[in-house]
Chains A and B, each alone.
Chain A
Amino acid sequence: MTSIDKNLGSLTGSTDPFNDQSDEVGAGIQEGLIHIRIQQRNGRKTLTTVQGLSTDYDLKKIVRICKKEFACNGTVVEHPEYGEVIQFQGDQRQNISEFLKKVGLARPEQLKVHGF
């Protein structure tokens, strides 16, 4: 009985046009988000990670270009959960987000820059 009630509740909840839409939109964006994070290392050194780039791209090639452009080192790390992740040395958040936008690898709304 209660389970039916619950089901009903969830059904009516999902038919709410506003709720539904907002959820849908959020999920859609969430899918293709590219997270750019910064991590502190020892001293004033930092690390920038780029997670969520589409697997269609050859990340190694991207890194090769970026390394030259930002004058920093970088690498591609394989992660069991998050797939391939790019790492750069130093705070390259600004650089990488501009680069991705400029090259057309990501739409501006896809980019999510984290950190301070």
Chain B
Amino acid sequence: MADDELLPFDPSLKKKKKKKKATFDLDALEVVDGEPAEPDTGKASDNTTEKYSKRTEEKVNDEPEPDTEKDKQDEDFSLDFSGMRKKKKKKKPFDLEEMKESLPDMSDAKESEEIPPEPEESIGAPPDDIDLDLPMKKKKKKKKAVDIDELVGEEEKTAEDDDLAEYSSKREDRLEGGGYTEGKTWFGSDRDYTYDELLKRVFDIIREKNPDMVTGEKKKIVMRPPQVLRAGARKTSFANFSEICRMLHRQPKHVLAFLLAELGTSGSVDGNNQLIIKGKFNQKQIENVLRRYIKEYVTCHTCKSPDTMLQKEERLFFLQCETCGSRCSVQSIKSGFQAVTGRRAALRAQ
């Protein structure tokens, strides 16, 4: 809808997008939906977008790649996102940060040795992994709302597409973070290429040469949403509690302690492995708390990888990351002060 307005220039392109969108993740849609909120930006970049697309298509046609089709679609998406760059404002801060981090070492790598694209690729690949990993994970945090609501059984292909699109959009973001919004192709013009354009080119090449790197590296953890039902008048049942604990690779005891401490109530696991919590809670609230749990006790604080182990040593819990090997202590679970909410008379009677 929004991008229909945005892309009135190429019907074939539009059609493709339509098709793509059907399989596309909500995440992208979300961004697209957000578009009309700031019409001026969309309009402003409209022209550039148009130019953009023509150029990129030229470029794509120039290159005799086997999977041009895919590439083109990707380009389309990056295009798409360029129009709604302003939307990403909330994401920008860390993107910029991340860029600041990543740029120096990339430039170092480049400056240290003048290299043709081939070796550059191999050098470019590891930093790519590393610094792209971070925002990916961060994004996931935000994305999880979408994912959780979504059905878990997402098709493999859509996931792939999604990853690719995400990837390209992020890259786009990053480029724009540097302030270079106009075209990335310098073919056919006699102006000098900029650093960002080169950077983009490298990433493009990397992605073309090994597509599985993009999709294979970043395993998306899709969480099943917690099933929260009311059990009686003033109790809540968390039906798939043990399942979620298994997915997080954490002991139910630990998760339970955290949940109860955070919610400030009492509760227990009953016979068929569901958690009964005292008090009325809805799914959203439990989800929030679970998310906080994951942030503190599941994802690695250094690399944000979910592949971690929780070990207990001398009364302290340590989070050991399996991916980056980092090890750090996590906060102990304390329920803290509990105000008297029940009947005081009953308390006194004890």
CA distance A35 to B264 in the complex (A): 12
Known pairs A47-B341, A82-B336, A87-B339; A26 contacts B264 (CB<8 A)? no
- Least CB separation from A116: chain B residue: B285
Partner of A77, one of B281, B331, B339: B339
B339 touches A116 (CB 8 A): no
Sample (6) of A-B pairs whose CB atoms are under 8 Å apart = A19-B328, A40-B341, A49-B339, A79-B337, A82-B337, A116-B289
Partner of A37, one of B264, B288, B328: B264
B interface residues, tally (CB under 8 Å): 23
Chain A residues touching B, range: 20 to 34
CA distance A40 to B282 in the complex (A): 13
Contact string, B217-246, partner A, CB cutoff 8 A, digits 1/0?
000000000000000000000000000000
Closest Cβ–Cβ distance, residue A82 to chain B (whole Å): 5
B328 touches A22 (CB 8 A): yes
Partner of A49, one of B281, B285, B331, B337: B337
> Which residues of A in the span 49-91 have a Cβ within 8 Å of any Cβ on B?
49, 51, 77, 79, 82, 85, 87
Contact string, A2-27, partner B, CB cutoff 8 A, digits 1/0?
00000000000000001100110010
B265 touches A40 (CB 8 A): yes
Assess whether B141 is interfacial by the CB under 8 Å rule: no
Q: Sort A-B residue pairs by CB-CB distance and give the 7 closest, nearest first.
A: A116-B285, A40-B279, A39-B264, A51-B337, A82-B337, A22-B328, A85-B337
B336 touches A26 (CB 8 A): no
User: What 15 new A-B contacts, CB under 8 Å, besides A39-B264, A114-B336?
Assistant: A18-B326, A19-B327, A37-B264, A40-B263, A40-B265, A40-B280, A40-B341, A42-B341, A44-B280, A51-B337, A82-B337, A115-B263, A115-B264, A116-B263, A116-B289
